[in-house]
Amino acid sequence: MKKSRRSFIKKIAGSSILLGAYPAGMMSCETNAQPLKTNAIPFAANDQINIAVIGCGIMGFNDCSTSLKVPGVKLVAACDLYDGRLEHMKELYGNEIFTTRNYKEVLDRKDVDAVIIATSDHWHDHISIAAMESGKAVYCEKPMVHHIDEGKAVIDAQKKTGAVFQVGSQRVSSIVTLKAKELLEQGTIGQLNMAEIVYDRQSALGAWQYSIPTDASEKTVDWKTYQGDAPKHAFDKKRFFRWRNYQDYGTGVTGDLFVHLFSGLHVITSSLGPNRIYATGGLRYWKDGRDVPDLMIGSYDYPETEHHPAFNVQMRVNFIYGSGGGSHVRLIGSEGVMTVTGGSVKVERHVMPKAPGYGGWDSFGTFPKATREAYVKWYKEQYPEPLPRMKDPKEEEFVVPEHYNSDLAHHMVFYNAVRTGTPIVEDATFGLRAAGPALASNLSYFELKPILWDAKAMEVV
């Protein structure tokens, strides 16, 4: 195990993967876009890329901070509908930063090359399309869209404009995800039969009970603009600062977290998505006015493809105390189990039995003596060398290097594409194929029925 870990770290430590600049071939599957059909890329390898952040909430500040760790990236503008966040942008990045409540003023600026869109979900499609049509590269937070039927317009805009467009689910670019993909393709755990995927949170902040500033009011918040195409309500600071709790602006558990799980799974398995979806759950603890569940369990049928036979997925997100918290993907195969976390891949090997058993808790014990003796003789002739329980009792674990940052890797993929036009894996098509099953899980939950999903066409059947 130590040798495997050392060789893995040595292999990647000096590689482009660690920098988030992996070649597109490593991610080959039908979800990939073709090389970008852009106009001439106006950046040399060391040229500065000027960025703007639209939506300066939790992920807006996080994405901005991560982007500025990429060499040659500079923040020039920020947009938000709460004045306090714009003030804080200037506190962090200087008074020369252009700030506005109007995202169109950002898109009109000639000095902005790329935008980070980290608004509430119901604004993603509108701003993404407008940004691409304005000639900007776009990094859009997940889920790519608020409703499934908004996805095709985003895909069409990317194809029409040739814009660099990447969805912000960092698992897609993580070396952990890529290592799991490599091991699965090598047959390390044999035939994939099922996956168990968990993302649990055990805190109030994890359950979206975000802080609300004391100065929140209609003077400091542009509530009218914020509502956009959502149903209209009187000003409610909880709806603005805790928007994930409301279907009008967010996508609940599935859009926030299931979409991460689908994104990583689709890379590892080279899958386009499931063909049958059923979700259940409920609002069990956080009865704070939200209209989305705090516990969701989804079951998914993945069809046979050229990459793998059919398999099943069980997915869970839980905001209830006592489940332990954390996230992992557990891939169960015919010859082993692979457990993928944010920082490691662990493989435990086994062999599924090919011979029927006898003895123990079995009908064998109900046979008369002569029949049991005849059965044992027949069994040994048919199966002279029963397979051992474990082909390789040793475990293997691959751990990322110290200080590795999958967020930074994902952002570097984006800025490499802006500079060179290299393909984006998590483009608009991939984004809809991850968001689609997640949002269809909401449909299943609220409509109390299974949903059939056409992963290739990216639509509910």
Task: Indicate if 138 and 97 belong to the same structural domain.
Answer: yes
E strands, 252-307, in order: 276-282, 295-302
Cβ atoms of 198 and 172 within 8 Å: the answer is: no
Return the DSSP state at 221.
B
pLDDT of residue 44: 55
Q: Sign of the CA dihedral 433, 435, 437, 440?
A: negative
Task: Indicate if 253 and 341 belong to the same structural domain.
Answer: yes
Would 358 be classed as within a structural domain?
no
Task: Indicate if 163 and 210 belong to the same structural domain.
Answer: no
The total number of structural domains in the chain stands at 2
Task: Indicate if 108 and 37 belong to the same structural domain.
Answer: yes
Task: Indicate if 169 and 192 belong to the same structural domain.
Answer: no
Task: Indicate if 164 and 208 belong to the same structural domain.
Answer: no
Cβ atoms of 415 and 23 within 8 Å: the answer is: no
Task: Indicate if 165 and 208 belong to the same structural domain.
Answer: no
Would 398 be classed as within a structural domain?
yes
Would 261 be classed as within a structural domain?
yes
Q: What residues does 332 pair with on adjacent strands?
A: 194, 337
Report the candidate in 253, 156, 241, 125 with the shortest Cα–Cα distance to residue 198: 253
Would 123 be classed as within a structural domain?
yes
Task: Indicate if 158 and 307 belong to the same structural domain.
Answer: no
| Separation CA 355–CA 376 (nearest Å) | 13
Would 373 be classed as within a structural domain?
no
CATH of the domain at 441: 3.30.360.10
Q: Show the domain range for 309.
A: 175-231+238-353+387-402+429-460
* Cα 51–Cα 159–Cα 172 angle in degrees, nearest 5: 60
Task: Indicate if 315 and 440 belong to the same structural domain.
Answer: yes
CATH of the domain at 117: 3.40.50.720
Would 2 be classed as within a structural domain?
no
Tell me the whole-structure pTM to 2 decimals. Answer: 0.89
pLDDT in tens, the chain (461 residues): 344 444 443 343 334 444 444 433 333 333 333 333 333 345 555 589 999 999 999 999 999 999 999 999 999 999 999 999 999 999 999 999 999 999 999 999 999 999 999 999 999 999 999 999 999 999 999 999 999 999 999 999 999 999 999 999 999 999 999 999 999 999 999 999 999 999 999 899 999 999 999 999 999 999 999 999 999 999 999 999 999 999 999 999 999 999 999 999 999 999 999 999 999 999 999 999 999 999 999 999 999 988 889 999 999 999 987 666 789 999 999 999 999 999 999 999 887 777 887 777 889 889 999 999 999 999 989 888 765 555 555 678 999 998 899 999 999 999 999 999 999 999 999 999 999 999 999 999 999 999 999 999 999 99
Q: Is 162 left (phi over 0), alpha (psi -120 to 50) or beta?
A: left
Task: Indicate if 153 and 75 belong to the same structural domain.
Answer: yes
Cβ atoms of 221 and 235 within 8 Å: the answer is: yes
Task: Indicate if 75 and 167 belong to the same structural domain.
Answer: yes
| Separation CA 429–CA 33 (nearest Å) | 7
Task: Indicate if 310 and 222 belong to the same structural domain.
Answer: yes
| Separation CA 154–CA 429 (nearest Å) | 9
Would 165 be classed as within a structural domain?
yes
Would 382 be classed as within a structural domain?
no
pLDDT of residue 42: 54
